[in-house]
Structure 1
Amino acid sequence: MSTDPDSSFERAAALIAQADALLVAAGAGMGVDSGLPDFRGAHGFWNAYPALGRLGIDFYSIACPAAFRSDPTLAWGFYGHRLALYRRTVPHAGFALLHGWGRRMARGSAVFTSNVDGQFQRAGFDAEAVHECHGSIAHLQCIEDCSDAIWPADDFHPEVDEEAGRLRNALPRCPHCGALARPNVLMFGDAGWNPLREQAQAARMRHFLHGAGRLVVVEVGAGTAVPSVRNCTQQLQQTLGARLVRINPRESAVASTRDVGLACAAGAALETIATLLPGLYAAPSSTHPLSGD
């Protein structure tokens, strides 16, 4: 593989240009250029949440169902802050570029992401075309699993004491039994996650992939520490012969010379590719991304 960065960007653009379908496979690094915090390592996490740092509570200890049972106002202080942050975050320009490329392709586009932040929907991607494999912070479920219900968190507006890291207003409740509501997010050590919404998304994703002839995967900000996105990419390469453009400033290596790895941040890499694809960021296709028509 060429080590010339210009050549690598040209090859990435060529892979995208020849595709009839685009799958965006995104990890946490996709949101960094929008200003979202990087939880990489305890130091990075505690920089974002100093109240938890003072308590010596790391990401794995707060992002788990046990935290909601032992200290719900602290757990919802963390998740409530994130929910409010994601609601006011403006997705960076790279989201719009990906959206434009996919709309121009004959078979459209879809998203597979381990992120729970809803940024792809905020950027204009059809919610029906997004598969959130770890769930969504914008949806709630009952902590007691009293039913299969999953509902939007639209009516919950968290007010967080950032100095203490705790929720100040009323805890969200299950509308069916009154028990504590928790995010419909797959947490660490989570045996109580309700996967029904994610399973429906997965079914729509399979339908999209069935219609793809020349699939390109643009994998952005997905590392090996939590390999959900990497595993998806690998499977699509093995089963569908998908071509891969991997964008990751720290882990950009690809296994095949057929594919391209770009050691860059998401926004910069996508904007550079866009300069080599002047015709693809324009007129949208009338095809619904998951219609298969």
Structure 2
Amino acid sequence: MPLAPSSDPLSASPPARPVAASGEVQALRQRLAAACQIAVLTGAGMSAESGVPTFRDDSSGYWSQFNPQEMASEAGFRAHPQRVWNWYAHRRAVIARVEPNAGHLALARWSRTHEGRMSVITQNVDGLHQRAGSAGVLALHGELMRNRWLDRPRSCCDLQRVAPGEPPSCPVCGNLLRPAVVWFGEALPASVWQAAEQAAQGAEVLLVVGTSGAVYPAAGLAQIARRSGAHVVVINTQATELDAVASQCLTGSAARLLPALFD
């Protein structure tokens, strides 16, 4: 299975491009209304509009002394389980204070009224699409607010019965809980990736929203969709590495453009 990215794509700053014209938005709106299958791939820029800090930026104060990549690996967790657990507790507290933005809500409303026609695929772990009301979200990199066992669970490992601690553990065998996110060097969840590939292959339109296009394998979904004949649209505030793959590029924020396309 594809592995999680080994570097942070958000350090690059591509050049800006002209803001999307109203005619482009209206033409795409009509295309979306006529499409039987739509896929939406979202990245960090989508959540940034809700006030979610990017992976590198989420390290203010005490946490700024640690390398984020060391805090997002199995080796780092095994070496310093309490430190890493508390860093994720900090990140969870940040996420709990933010709300889905107008872009998240527009996708959720449209998918509810057009059941079975939209697949939401996200690189984000914050759960904002789910909180907005989107069903069946394909979270490629896992979900920050959920936990799973560090080692293969035994019959005694029960997520409903854990010994308190930082991190909590199985009271019988001592297996530790860890955040249910994909760490560096780990494979993406096989069933989620397969469903994302199928959604990209079957989409008539793929929207790529708020992602730099530098993180693979997620960025490869745009290429899969284009080869399958989809109309690929990149929505971002600046140029991305997927612009060359796109059939159309719209410049603007997700919170502004997605309601214009779907409401």
Structure 1, unaligned runs of 5 or more: 159-168, 275-280, 282-293
Sequence identity (%)? 28
**1:174 deviation in Å?**
3.9
**1:265 deviation in Å?**
2.0
d(CA) in 1 for partners of 2:147, 2:207: 30
**1:150 deviation in Å?**
9.8
Q: Do residues 199 (structure 1) and 190 (structure 2) align? A: yes
- Deviations 1:209-263 (Å, cap 9, x if unpaired)? 68x5x62112111113323332112112212x11122111123463367x22122
- Deviations 1:110-157 (Å, cap 9, x if unpaired)? 11111111111111111xx221111222332222334599987x999x
Any conservation in 2 of the 1:142–1:182 contact (CA below 8 Å)?
Answer: yes
Any conservation in 1 of the 2:200–2:225 contact (CA below 8 Å)?
Answer: no
Q: Do residues 62 (structure 1) and 71 (structure 2) align? A: yes
**1:27 deviation in Å?**
0.9
Q: Do residues 250 (structure 1) and 238 (structure 2) align? A: yes
**One of 241, 247, 254 as aligned partner of 1:266:** 254
d(CA) in 2 for partners of 1:270, 1:104: 15
Any conservation in 2 of the 1:103–1:109 contact (CA below 8 Å)?
Answer: no
- Seen in structure 2, the aligned counterparts of structure 1 residues 201 and 188 have a Cα distance that, compared at 3 Å, is closer
d(CA) in 2 for partners of 1:261, 1:176: 54
Structure with greater helix percent: 1
Any conservation in 2 of the 1:141–1:174 contact (CA below 8 Å)?
Answer: no
* Aligned position for 1:18: 34
d(CA) in 2 for partners of 1:135, 1:16: 28
* Aligned position for 1:177: 173
Residues matched between the structures, number: 244
* Aligned position for 1:218: 207
Amino acid at match of 1:139: R
Any idea what SS the aligned residue of 1:60 has?
coil
Any conservation in 2 of the 1:38–1:45 contact (CA below 8 Å)?
Answer: yes
* Aligned position for 1:187: 183
**1:103 deviation in Å?**
3.5
Structure 2, unaligned runs of 5 or more: 1-17
Root-mean-square deviation (Å): 3.3
- Seen in structure 2, the aligned counterparts of structure 1 residues 247 and 207 have a Cα distance that, compared at 3 Å, is closer
**One of 208, 217, 224 as aligned partner of 1:228:** 217
Any conservation in 1 of the 2:81–2:166 contact (CA below 8 Å)?
Answer: no
Any idea what SS the aligned residue of 2:88 has?
helix
- Deviations 1:71-124 (Å, cap 9, x if unpaired)? 222211221122233334310111121122333447421111111111111111
d(CA) in 1 for partners of 2:167, 2:234: 40
- Deviations 1:42-81 (Å, cap 9, x if unpaired)? 5x344xx22122x2x2221222122211222221122112
Q: Do residues 119 (structure 1) and 128 (structure 2) align? A: yes
Q: Do residues 140 (structure 1) and 147 (structure 2) align? A: yes
d(CA) in 2 for partners of 1:117, 1:178: 28
Any conservation in 2 of the 1:12–1:260 contact (CA below 8 Å)?
Answer: no
d(CA) in 2 for partners of 1:219, 1:188: 23
d(CA) in 1 for partners of 2:104, 2:192: 20
